[in-house]
Structure 1
Amino acid sequence: MKRIFFPLFFLLIQISFSQVDNIHGKSTIYEAPTDPLVQQKLKEWGGQKFGMLIHWGVYAVPGIIESWQLCSEAWLERPEGMSYNDYKKWYWNLSSVFNPVNFDPDSWADAADSAGMKYVVFTTKHHDGFNMFDTQQTDYKITNGPFKNHPKANVAKHVFDAFRKKDFMIGAYYSKPDWHSQDFWWDKYATPDRNPNYDIRKYPERWERFQDFAYNQINELVTDYGQIDILWLDGGWVRPRETVNDEVRAWGAPIPDWDQHINMPKIAEMARKAQPGIIFADRTVHGPYENYQTPERSIPETKLDNPWESCITLGNAWGYVPNDNYKSATKVIHSLIEIVAKGGNMLLGVGPQSDGLLPLEAVKKLEEIGVWLSKNGDAIYGTKTTDSYTDGKNFFTTKENTHYALIPLKEGEALPNQISWGKNIPKQGSKITLLETGEKLDWRLKNGMVQVSLPKSLRSKTIPALAFSFKK
């Protein structure tokens, strides 16, 4: 198969794939952690506000959707004239040509830092089972292919090290399902959907081997790769049977009659012994191991008091896809403002190319986001939500005794002479400061509306949003 085919059929599945992303809506069900070290780390994470999610694996070689075309469900499309089994063989064999000779994790960390990000979540293994770290549990890994002799072949280690040098919190993404494993998708049977393709009740020893496999891999990550702050577990259909609810049924995927959990209590005990205070994000599995929740490609309609994080892509795809349609820096900033005002964090997805470099256009977008945050970050980092967090298109945050008004502006338009809002009124005699310049601005209260005059020097500029600080 020639590479040129894949961007074309990738586009065919975007609408269908969004169904998988959008179904992971935010639930109000939340069980707060009781471990003081977890509480402390969760509070620290909650103040970071902005992070980078990096999907990178063999799917970057042809530039296609990560893993999902291996899954034989009705919403997916694959190339015409190629059998399903031949496609799986082709996909898994991409490991033989995945050779990211330009891999430069320091440049990734530089790009994230320039964007104003504060934490990273790196995909150590996606559903396809290809490992981006030197696991000893399988040979299907980056250190067992053409990249194996590279000094940075143990990719996850060098990614984590690069981001630690920038004082980032470190998150390890790990997929609970593993479609490459014979103990998850057994060649004895067909693979009709995302679930294990055999009856776990009939072959309990096979599933126990898979549980041990997952346990051992996570043990490697939390033991051999330095400080890990977040274990970000994807693949929420791998879960205890009793936790399946209407939210899960709405995904539309088949739900087996058997239990397919990986023994999170055992994993949690091991992980927190190795990494005291580590945060778990066992996505969509409400309970003690979902320390924060993760609405995907969406922002909750209202503010939420539980810890949460919106996972949003910079382009249309999570991983690298040629000619992806990247969001503007303004759109990302507007989403960040809304998410933070509603009490959440934003995790922005960026996919490196197969050669190991971030796409230049993505780097440019990140720099533009960072320019705004370098001046207005006080209204974002370390803030909390307020009861009156929005006033139409405007949003508000607070930190200690200071309140912030964040005013998103239409993309490409020059600034008006005056900005106004109708909630969170500054106290009489309070100073209003424009974070963009540090200037104290004239303001007045008229008909219940705060009216702030903008300096003439600013009106010719186009700025994604304005942020003001004041006492209330």
Structure 2
Amino acid sequence: MHVLKTLLLTGTLFAATAHAQPHPIADAQGRTADGQYPMDYKAGPVEAQLKKVDQRLKRGAYKPDWAALKAYETPDWFRDAKFGIFIHWGPYSVPAFANEWYTRNMYAQGNSAFRHHVETWGPQNQFGYKDFIPMFTAEKFDANAWIDLFQRAGARYVIPVAEHCDGFAMYDSAMTEWKATTMGPKRDTTGELATAARAKGMHFGLSSHRAEHWWWFNDGRKYDSDVNDPKYAGLYGPAAPMRLNGDDAKGWPDGNHLENWFPPNKEFLDDWLARTTELVDKYRPEMVYLDWWSAAPAFEPNMRKFAAYYYSDGRAKGYAPTIAYKGEQFIEGSALFDIERGKLDALRLEPWQTDTSVSIKSWGYVDGDSYRTAKSLIGDLIDVVAKNGNLLLNVGPKADGTLPEEAKTVLLGMGVWLTVNGEAIYGSRPWTYFGEGPTVTVTGEKKETPNKVWTAQDIRFTTNKGKLYAMGFVRPADGKVFIRTLYKDTPYLNRAPTSIELVETGKAVAWRQTDKGLEIDLPPLDSDMPYVLRLSL
């Protein structure tokens, strides 16, 4: 969204919105008598936090304007790490049905989650989402065990979701009573993960999906459900309409036209800024990942304030922060671009990130999910890193705090490969040319092909400590590798190869450089995983 357009939209859409305390009773559309939407708004903590934000913005190293924010640089820790773990975990892991959007879809008449909920748990006016929270006990949660697994998988950073769209905070927030420290686990699971990760030398960040909560439960306004009970406005509110005309029946608006969505009021926007900066103050995350709806035009002023607050905090306290975004919240060069379940078809000069999941159907844990293979995810990692990106791989724990065995198997398989071949990944930088081969990677969000099939002709390159690495996705049946890009006198190399080694054996391989390409003979090996060649020049 261009800044001028954003300012015009935000100025016209909610210039008349009042900053008022919510009233306890809402009508069928969620509005109270004065036209407001009841929500979990704690004036004292919110206003105290916003005062702190204003003070930081006055004296901080970064100012809340786009020109100043372009001074941001992607931190080296991120560029070196390459591989991180994302965690979607919350009360939605109790029903464990379909996907983590169950929290919304269980109220959407006609949705399979709605039917499943009624048949399994009863009607929504008798058993609502709130009733899953006491069942979300996390009695087997062990932060140290999780971090140990993630390290064995080869991950260098971890990003749990601090608050999903459901409005249940998985951290110790002063802004709400609907949180893991007072309900469900009655533990600060986020704080425990932060402590465990940092004790093992892992980088730690957080993700916020709070923005979507403005409309998340609005389907429950359309009939008799517990969303309309004023006792639970703290969890379900605001539950506002999605569209400006109030007609949600037309489906989801185009994600590229978020100005057509009903804009959040000032109260919600203040609460969003307070909660998001609270995460910075409490946990000092090195990454804050913001979900997609925060790209809606109304968030633009607060987006600049948050970035300036967060970057200034890092400068003042000596850590290197980064913000991952996947919409149009930021201008080029002011934050880290992320692609959900998707990739790029070419090398990007600026660092970027893709986030996907070890599970195929859902980000959160659900019964009967399908899972990726370690080989396919290593292939993703190779392709992404060669194009100057990082892979953020999600896991969805069960309600009791354990991780699915299928996920653990995949993660450990990745770790075995990275233990041997990690020198081509960690700390690497992209080469002049990302790679070659016939397999096309489609650019864009949600366009990944799980367990993608590559060919023996597909090769990717990275550089590290003066070495050039050539990574092959598939070992050719005859052991003959041919790399067209590295032909004799290629302009991509200013020095000829002097030796080539297969990293997994540490032994030299036979090779010949001709006018048509580089020919390499691989030894027979009992493995179908990608291979890595180390070229000394």
Q: Structures share a fold, TM > 0.5?
A: yes
Percentage identity across paired residues of the two chains: 27
1:100 corresponds in structure 2 to 138
Q: Give 2:115's match in structure 1, choosing from 80, 96, 99.
A: 80
Letter in 2 for 1:267: F
**Map of 2:481 onto structure 1:** 419
SS at structure 2 position matched to 1:386: strand
Counterpart selection for 1:267 from 294, 306, 318: 306
- Contact preservation (8 Å) 2:462, 2:469: yes
Q: Tell me: CA distance 1:291–1:68, structure 2 relative to 1, closer, same or farther (3 Å).
A: farther
DSSP-derived class of the 2:265 partner: helix
Deviation of residue 313 (structure 1)? 1.1
Runs of at least 5 residues in structure 1 that lack an aligned partner in the other structure: 1-29, 201-205, 242-258
Contact 1:281–1:292 at 8 Å: present in 2 too?
Answer: yes
* 2:4 aligned residue: none
The structural deviation recorded for 1:111 is 1.2
Shift of 1:160: 1.2
* TM-score, normalised by the number of residues in structure 1: 0.77
Letter of the 1:269 counterpart = A
Distance 2:261 2:483 in 1: 59
Distance 2:126 2:511 in 1: 64
1:48-197 paired onto structure 2 within 5 Å: 48-64=81-97, 65-67=99-101, 69-70=103-104, 77-80=112-115, 86=124, 90-148=128-186, 153-175=187-209, 176-178=211-213, 179=216, 185-186=237-238, 192=248
Q: TM-score scaled to structure 2, two decimals? A: 0.68
Q: How far apart, in 1, do the equivalents of 2:160 and 2:174 lie?
A: 19
Q: How far off is 1:369 after superposition?
A: 0.6
Letter in 2 for 1:161: T
Match of 2:294 among 238, 254, 272: 238
The 1:466–1:90 alpha-carbon spacing in structure 2 relative to 1, beyond 3 Å, is same
Partner of residue 498, structure 2: 430
| Structure 1, 311-320 or 175-184: larger mean CA deviation | 175-184
| Pairing 1:369–2:414 present | yes
8 Å contact kept, 1:396–1:403: yes
Give the direction of change, closer, same or farther, for the CA distance of 1:88–1:174 in structure 2 (3 Å limit).
Answer: farther
Compute the displacement of 1:386 (Å): 2.3
Report the CA distance shift for 1:50/1:146 in structure 2 as closer, same or farther (over 3 A). Answer: closer
**Partners in 1 of 2:400 and 2:129 — Cα distance?**
18
3-state secondary structure, aligned to 1:361: helix
CA contact (8 A) 2:84 2:158 kept: yes
For 2:485 and 2:109, the matched residues in 1 are separated by 48
Contact 1:184 1:196 in 2 (8 A): no
Match of 1:332 in 2: 377
Name whichever of 259-268 and 107-116 sits farther off. Answer: 259-268
Structure 2 partner of 1:210: 268
* Alpha-carbon shift at residue 360 of structure 1 (Å): 1.7
Structure 2 CA distance for partners of 1:299 and 1:379, relative to 1, 3 Å: same
Match of 1:466 in 2: 531
> For structure 1, which segment, 260-269 or 346-355, has the greater mean C-alpha deviation from structure 2 after superposition?
260-269
Within 1, Cα distance between the matches of 2:463 and 2:404?
35
> Number of matched residues?
406
Q: Which residue of 2 aligns with 1:303?
A: 347
Superimposed CA distance per residue, residues 271-299 of structure 1 (whole angstroms, 9 cap, x where no aligned partner): 23433342112331252586111111111
Partner of 1:453: 521
8 A contact 2:295–2:327 mirrored in 1: no
2:167/2:235 contact within 8 Å kept = no
List aligned pairs for 1:341-420, cutoff 5 A. Answer: 341-392=386-437, 393-409=458-474, 416-420=478-482
User: Using a 3 Å threshold, how does the CA distance of structure 1 residues 88 and 401 change in structure 2: closer, same or farther?
Assistant: farther
Q: Is the 8 A contact 2:269 2:299 kept in 1?
A: no
Deviation, 1:270, is: 2.8
The residue type paired with residue 156 of structure 1 is T
Bigger Rg, structure 1 or 2: 2
After the TM superposition, which residues 312-323 of structure 1 pair with which residues of structure 2 at under 5 Å, given as runs?
A: 312-316=356-360, 317-323=362-368
1:163-196 C-alpha deviation (Å, 9 max, x unpaired): 1122122111011232476699436878948899
> Do the aligned partners of residues 111 and 416 (structure 1) sit closer, same or farther apart at CA in structure 2, a change above 3 Å counting?
farther
CA distance in 1, matches of 2:259, 2:193: 31
Give the equivalent residue in structure 2 for 1:254: none
Closer/same/farther in 2, CA of residues 369 and 75 from structure 1, 3 Å limit: farther
C-alpha deviations, 1:301-333, integer Å up to 9, x for none?
Answer: 222222211111111121111232111111111
Is the alpha carbon distance of 1:111 and 1:96 closer, same or farther for their aligned partners in structure 2, counting shifts above 3 Å?
same
Q: Is the 8 A contact 2:483 2:519 kept in 1?
A: yes
How has the CA–CA distance of structure 1 residues 313 and 415 changed in structure 2, closer, same or farther, with 3 Å as cutoff?
same
Q: 1:11-52 deviations in whole A, cap 9, x for unaligned?
A: xxxxxxxxxxxxxxxxxxx999543xx42x523212211111
